[in-house]
Amino acid sequence: MYKFVDDDLIPYPDQWALLSRQESLSPAQLGEKVGRKPDSDATVDATLPWEQALPVETEKIIECPETVTLILSNHNYVKLSDIPGTLAARIKRMASFTNPVFFKTQALRFSTHSIPRYISCAQIEQGYLSVPRGCFDELQALLLGQGITVEIDDRRLPGQILNGIAPSNHGQT
C-alpha cells in the first residue's frame, strides 16, 4: 500500500487530512513544476479525423547522402543502398495510414489479433523502396528537408493519343 511520507520518509498518520490541506494547482503552476508551459489553444480533439496520421518526425537524420535519385515509374522508387535506414523508415511511415477496420473492431471490443493497426503502401522490391505515385510531393519535401538534392529520373510512359474513341451514347465509334 502506498503512503505519503515526510522528508524523513516517515508516513503521515492521517493521509486524508494531509490531502485535504493541499491547494489545487492551476495549469500554469503545474506547467512550472513539470517544466513546460501549458498549451492554452490545445484541446483533446484538436486533430480532425481526416488529418489523423502517424506522428511525423522532423529531426535531421545524420549520414544522409548529398544526392538521391528518385525514379518515377508506376511507383516512386528510391534505391535502399543510397539512403540510411532511418530515412527509409520515415519514407515507409509517410506511405502508411491508419486502418479504420482495426479501430472500429477495437471500439467494439472484438479481437484485433489478425488486423493490422496501420496499412503500409510502401514496398521493397529488388533493392528499391517504392511508394505510391501520390506520395511524390511529400517524398520530395522529406528529402529536401534533410538537405538532400533530388535527381529525378522520369521513366513513365508517355502513352498514345487515341483518335475516334468516345462514349457509345455519342454515336462515334
Q: How far is 122 from 136, CA to CA, in rounded Å?
A: 12
- Residue 32 has a pLDDT of 80
- Residue 171 has a pLDDT of 57
Contact 94, 139 (CB under 8 A): yes
pLDDT digits (tens, 9 = 90+) for 55-102: 566 788 888 999 999 999 999 999 999 999 999 999 999 999 999 999
Instruction: Please state the domain extents for the chain.
Output: 57-154
pTM: 0.61
What architecture (CATH level 2) is domain 57-154?
A: 2-Layer Sandwich (3.30)
